[in-house]
Amino acid sequence: MSKLKNILGKSKNNSHASVLDPANIFGLDPNDLLLLTDPNARISYEQQGRLEELKHDIKFSVRRNTSWSTEELEYVAEVKRLLKQNIFTEKGAYWWTSPHPTVYIARTKGTIRINDKSYKFKKGDNITFQCRMLREENNLKAPLLIGKFNPTSKSMLCGDMKSAMKGM
């Protein structure tokens, strides 16, 4: 049985191609509801009999009944690139709000490029995906959060948050 990850909450070793070219989103399915969900978060929801509830929340609250956007797909592609280059590693945790994305830790300083913009991170920084609602609420320019995160036992669906759009 796989060991479940901790939940995290509130709170330049790159090639020329990775800096100059847009992220390669070829092969990523913009309709895959669980594309950004950490595998252990999915297992946890399955074990609780709440996987369909999570999928519904991702579809209607996180994605607002649309597909994953190009910049969200670019985040996925960039994370895959940085993992392959051994610049990122999984922290062994996932974010406290849905879609409950994996939290990564930077092994070196570097940049992640999304929507033709570069975002710097330092060695030891945590990096994770941020949903549209939290990006708007916190005036974030990209679907990622970079910083130091504190562990929490709290877990929440986006639709349950006070600022969620109701009636979708």
For residue 111, give the 3-state DSSP assignment: strand
Domain contains 133: yes
Structure tokens at 96: 């406290």
Total domain count, the chain: 1
CB 10 within 8 A of CB 152: yes
Domain contains 61: yes
What is the secondary structure of 57-74 as a DSSP string? HIIIIISTTSPPPHHHHH
Domain contains 43: yes
Predicted pLDDT at 21: 65
In tens, the pLDDT along 4-58 reads: 455 555 433 333 344 556 678 989 999 999 999 999 999 999 999 999 999 999 9
Tell me the pTM.
0.84
What's the helix, strand, coil split of the chain in %, to 5?
Answer: 30, 25, 45
Mean pLDDT of 71-87: 97
Domain contains 116: yes
Domain contains 143: yes
Domain contains 168: no
For residue 100, give the nearest of 166, 164, 27, 51 by alpha carbon. 51
User: What domain range is 145 assigned to?
Assistant: 6-25+34-160
Domain contains 1: no
Which residue shows structure tokens 């929440």? 156
